[in-house]
Amino acid sequence: MLHGRRVVLGVSGGIAAYKAVELCRRLVDAGAHVVPVLTADARRFVGEVTFSALASEPVQTSLWDGPDPIPHTRLGQSADVVVVAPATARVIAAYAAGLSDDLLTATLLATRAPVVVCPAMHTEMWEHPAVQENLATLRRRGVIVVDPEVGRLAGGDEGAGRLAGPETIVAAVERVLGPADLAGLTVLVTAGGTREPVDPVRFVGNRSSGKQGHAVAEAAARRGATVTLVTTVGRPVTGGIEVVRVATAAEMEEAVRAHADHADVVVMAAAVADFRPKAVAGEKIKKEDGVPELVLEPTPDILAGLAARRRPGQTLVGFAAETEDVRAQAEQKLRRKQLDLIVANDVSRPGAGFEHDTNEALILGADGVSTAVPLMDKRGVAEAVLDAVVATRSTRP
């Protein structure tokens, strides 16, 4: 995916700049043409000679000192992707605010290529509301943010803020530059857990964070699809994705029905509650009134309804969150609901399922093909799910 692709590698001034040396080497080894751009502060941590020796072109550092009168424009226009690793709080803030006081930030504003930002900083800085708001702004604009890892930091502290590993960043760049194999298709994705009201302040729900469904929607958009995301959570979404926000299973069913007839692919990643209170109290139930009798009724089976009215050529993908007999339960659901694919995971396993940033899954196809996806970030799982969708559709007559 990277062979012959032009990567502008921006390095800003944090101690994690030393890791950018390895990132540069890996990108070159993968076939990319790497152009390193170092900020003045980055040069305090790493030497220009090192990057010039490893990269495809000599290091560039200044808007003013080279022979090109407008280096940022040339860099921005010629890039297939711009990667900033590490991205300091200063660079993130400047990019979000549209400030261009050096070659790197000017290049970021002068490009229409995809941008991958890889933050690295101390935990207190990473968690500061200003940093998080700036990153949310960049995500809304379509910037890919590779979140930092939790681990040992400069000074011996432990916490979130360590630059993601070079292999993780290279994988993110590969995904960004991957084939547009969903171009021309309309993809409908659901995400999050529904909340079924008991009274005006309480609900029956589950622990779904919506991270996996949102990751699928983002990945489908990157691969060229026109994407509609029906979600119960308020997570940031890349520009260009149509977002429909719902809360209950009934609202999700209505939204899905409104969009499913036009979708080539439907990925039901949402954790829809199986039951809801039969009667909803109009006022908050008081503890002093005693324990209420809570009578439940089934919620609509949205996925089964889709299968019953699917149009020719439509691909249906379901999810199964299980705690035992994962394959058997998933196979049964695959057949019962007449799906093309089902993505099953054991939510009792460490690091998998609800609320985590990582997941592992077993993808089963109606054609008998199965794919085991090892524990990885949910973006990687999303790509694996879409790979299975593409493979399934390619075998149809």
Q: What pLDDT score does 397 carry? A: 64
Q: What pLDDT score does 37 carry? A: 97
Point out the least confidently predicted range of 231-235, 346-350, 367-371: 346-350
Catalytic residue among 134, 206, 345, 359: 206
Measured CA to CA, the distance from residue 49 to residue 53 in angstroms comes to: 6
Strand pairing class (203-204; 144-145): unpaired
Q: What is the mean pLDDT of the chain?
A: 92
In the predicted structure, residue 353 carries a pLDDT above the cut 80: no
3-state secondary structure of 366: coil
Q: What pLDDT score does 292 carry? A: 85
Q: Which has the higher per-residue pLDDT, 207 or 212?
A: 212
In the predicted structure, residue 242 carries a pLDDT above the cut 70: yes
Q: Which has the higher per-residue pLDDT, 40 or 151?
A: 40
Cα separations (Å) of 105 from 40, 108, 354? 12, 5, 37
What ranges do the domains of the chain cover?
Answer: 6-176, 186-394
Q: Hey, do 6-176 and 186-394 end up sharing a CATH topology, with the first three levels equal?
A: yes
Beta strands in the chain (DSSP E): 6-11, 33-38, 81-87, 115-119, 144-145, 149-152, 158-162, 186-191, 196-197, 203-204, 226-231, 242-245, 265-268, 275-277, 296-298, 315-322, 341-346, 358-365, 370-377
Cα separations (Å) of 218 from 112, 146, 204, 235, 256? 18, 13, 28, 12, 18
Q: What is the rounded end-to-end Cα distance, in angstroms, of the chain?
A: 28
Q: What is the mean pLDDT of residues 65-78?
A: 87
Query: 342 - beta bridge partners?
Result: 318, 364
Point out the least confidently predicted range of 19-23, 68-72, 371-375: 68-72
Q: What is the mean pLDDT of residues 80-92?
A: 97
Q: Is the dihedral of CA 54, 178, 109, 97 positive or negative?
A: negative
In the predicted structure, residue 151 carries a pLDDT above the cut 90: no
Pick from 31, 140, 125, 28: which is nearest to 86 by CA?
Answer: 125
pLDDT grade, residue 90 (50/70/90)?
very high
Domain 186-394: which CATH class?
alpha beta
Pick from 204, 151, 180, 192: which is nearest to 319 by CA?
Answer: 192
Tokens of 355: 């609320």
3-state secondary structure of 82: strand
| pLDDT 10s digits, 253-285 | 999 999 999 999 999 999 999 999 999 999 999
Q: What pLDDT score does 389 carry? A: 97
In the predicted structure, residue 223 carries a pLDDT above the cut 80: yes
Would you identify the CATH topology of the domain 6-176? Rossmann fold (3.40.50)
Cα separations (Å) of 212 from 48, 89, 353, 386? 40, 27, 9, 12
In the predicted structure, residue 68 carries a pLDDT above the cut 80: no
Active site residue 359: no
pLDDT grade, residue 320 (50/70/90)?
very high
